[in-house]
Every structure is written in C-alpha cells, then in structure tokens.
Amino acid sequence: MELRSQVMVWELVLLQSSAVLLSSVPSGPVPAASSVVSESTVSWAAGALAVLRCQSPRMVWTQDRLHDRQRVVHWDLSGRPGGGPTRRLVDMYSAGEQRVYEPRDRGRLLLPLSAFHDGNFSLLIRAVEEADAGLYTCNLHHHYCHLYETLAVRLEVTDNPREAGAHWDGEKEVLVVERGTPALLTCVNRAHVWTDRHLEEAQQVVHWDRQPPGVPHDRADRLLDLYASGERRAYGPPFLRDRVAVGADAFARGDFSLRIDPLEPADEGTYSCHLHHHYCGLHERRIFHLRVTEPVAEPPPRDSPGNGSSHSGAPGPDPTLARGRSVINVIVPEGRAHFFQQLGYVLATLLLFILLLITVVLATRQRRRGGYEYSDKKSGKSKGKDVNMAEFAVATGDQALYRSEDIQLDYKNNILKERAELGHSPLPVKNIDLDREFRKEYCK
C-alpha cells in the first residue's frame, strides 16, 4: 500500500510539471498593449467650457493600506455525485492567512504557504474519500486590479489502482485517484501581478495627447502627464497649456476628464486619453474628435431697440452670411538641425556683408589713386617742368615773396632789374667795414 502511495505521489508530481504550461495560460481575456475603449466625436461652441470625459474605476487609487489582502485564492467544489450547491473549501490571502470552511477538511486540505511568492496555488488532499469527487475550481482574485482568473480540475475516485492517472478532456484536467491516497490538484500562475507586490503609485500614469488636423497618431503632441504619486507635467503650445486642466483628485475618483476653458477655434483636433497601470497590466485609450462651432448669439430682449419695435435701432447682422473662420496650424521644427540651419543663414549673411564692404573700400581707393595720377599729369603739362622747392625764397626787408616761375617783365631801368634778380638769387656774402662807411658819410 505504501509503494502504491509513493508511485501515486510521483505520478502527481509529473502531472504537475506537465500541467504548468496548461495552467500558466490565464483563463480570462488577455489585455491588449493599448486597447481602444471608446472613440467619439464631440462638438463645443467657441468660448465655452469643453469637458472630454475619461473615467475608469479600475484606476482608482484607494489608499486603503491593505496591500496584503488585495490578492486572494480560494478553492470551490461543485458537481458532486450526490448533487448540491457549490461550497467553499479553503481560501488564503497573500499575507499567508488560510481558512478552511468545513471542520472535516481541517488537516486534510492544504495550500502551500509560499503560494503568492512562487505562483503555485495547488490544493493537496491528504486522503481522498468518495465524497471528494467533483469539479474543483481554483479562483484567483485581485480586488485592487479587478482581476479574476479561474482554473477547473475534475476529480474522480476509484478503487482500481490501474485506473488511476490524469488526462485532458479538451477543456479541463481530469484526475482519477485511488481512494485513500493523496491527490494534488494543480493550479499554477506565475504572473507578476500574483507573485509580486509593487508600489502601485509608481505604476500608474495617465497622459493626454493632441493631434492637430491632418497629423497622424504617431506625430501627436503630448499635453499632460499625470502620476499617482502626485507629479504632473504640462507640455504643448503655451496658448493651450494655460487653458487645459485635470482634477487634482483624479486618481482618488478615477476621473481623468480634460477641461479646456475657454475653448478656441484653434483647439480643434483629435484628443486621446491614455491610461496605464503597469502593475495591473491595464492599458486603455479613449479617443475624442473635437469640433469647435461658432457661439450661438443670444436674441435681444423684446424692449430693446434692435428687435424691430423701434426704428431708431441699428440693423442686425445678415443671417444669410456665414461667418467664416480659419485655423492656422504652425508647425515649429524641433531638434538641433533647426538651430544650425538658422546659424548658417546668419553666418552667410554676415560673410556677404563683409565681402560687399571690402569691395566698396577697394573701389574707393582705386578711384582716389586714379584721381591723384590724373592731377599729377595735368599739373605737369601746364608747368612744363618739375618744381624745385629750392627756388622759393623769402626776401628780407620790404621785398615781397615771388614764385619760382620766370616772370618776363619789362623793367624801366637797370636798378629794378637788378633788384628782381637779387630776389631770385641769394645775396653774396660781403665783408662790410663799418668804420669806413662812417668816415664816408662824415666826409660828405
């Protein structure tokens, strides 16, 4: 009997290792990388308060401080041979607390204490009885992430040891166990959401994107980044950044609606709300096609002069003329290429200016040099000879200053001619005896 029990245990171990691949696939739907939850077209009047609704109860930051009671596993039994409702057998929280509901099952049903660390939530029945046959379900619940996964195993009890074994019926595992021997109902799920406990506030982020008309999704502009830790980052053009806002308690209420106040015609485009919860594996996107209409003019009161009761009022606008509007999309280039391009324009302009300045200076100097040569040639033709500065002399006494040119004058006597020649030539040095000159004058 002991040998059969050992063989049965080894068979169950091999069955568990082979069932890991089957049980590791979650039974629920696998969330997409970025699934589009909704897409709608909204229209608001210019100047009004526009609200783009983006709400998700799964992104609520509860702050209940019950991290170890958010994850729970429990086994249920249904489909017994004698019939009856489904009953709870055992459950366990991520903190390691186990609870067995039936007194007869205490000590018979066991769950590994390290289930939420290694992802093994298998149920061990120490000694199988006839009443244990039925459909067992392994239920994994994550109350914070709102995740529910279920794995079914059918247990059959037999008295023939040769019939003992396990097989797959196409939907679930069928385990046939001999009465009185142990049975291991495998349930393995090693996803990080069941085995790890991260800080949720660092795993949640929400951001809003905006696509101007004609811009694809991969070229969208980022408007806001919201983190559950309280950090916020604003992007986008300044004319829109100061008019968009999301509630301060967005993560507490799960309401991440974007408010634009006041709405302008240039705000028209496609807006998308992205919800990311990396811990829970949540990735959702909501798309809004925003259209801006003209504000509706309020009708004037009846007693006002503009409603036709008085002829003195100014005529109202022609309703047949549609007021046109135009949206100008300015695409500001980004990156270093734009900076170097503008710097190249400035340097090229500066170089062109320097070349132009050098050309003007050279032309001016050439013109002046040509003027000097022309003046020298002209003066040479008129004089007929070179000018000697030694010909200029300063006369003493009452003699006047004469030019170096030979002036042909008709002198009346030789005295005047001699004086003119003395003015052009230096006087010879003479030794004058003053005593002799005085004697001559005394004798006369």
DSSP secondary structure letters along 67-89: GGGSEEEEEEEE--TT----EEE
Fold match between domain 2-30+65-195 and domain 35-60+199-293: yes
Asked if residue 225 lies in contact with residue 289, where contact means CB atoms within 8 angstroms, the answer is no
Q: Is the pLDDT of residue 339 over 50?
A: yes
Element at 138 (helix H, strand E)? strand 134-142
Q: Is the pLDDT of residue 316 over 70?
A: no
Asked if residue 111 lies in contact with residue 121, where contact means CB atoms within 8 angstroms, the answer is yes
Q: Is the pTM of this model over 0.75?
A: no
Amino acid at 133: A
Class of domain 2-30+65-195: mainly beta
Task: Say which CATH topology domain 35-60+199-293 has.
Answer: Immunoglobulin-like (2.60.40)
* Chain segment 267-300, per-residue pLDDT in tens: 899 999 999 888 788 888 999 999 988 887 766 6
Check residue 70 and give its pLDDT. Answer: 80
- For residues 114 and 443, the model is more confident at 114
Cis amide bond preceding 265, omega within 30: no
Going by pLDDT thresholds of 50, 70 and 90, the confidence category of residue 193 is: confident
Residue indicated by tokens 């503009």:
306
Check residue 16 and give its pLDDT. Answer: 44
Check residue 413 and give its pLDDT. Answer: 62
Check residue 9 and give its pLDDT. Answer: 45
Residue indicated by tokens 């067995």:
100
Domain positions in the chain: 2-30+65-195, 35-60+199-293, 346-384, 389-443
Check residue 126 and give its pLDDT. Answer: 93
Distances in Å between the Cα of 15 and the Cα atoms of 67, 159, 317, 325 are 33, 20, 84, 72
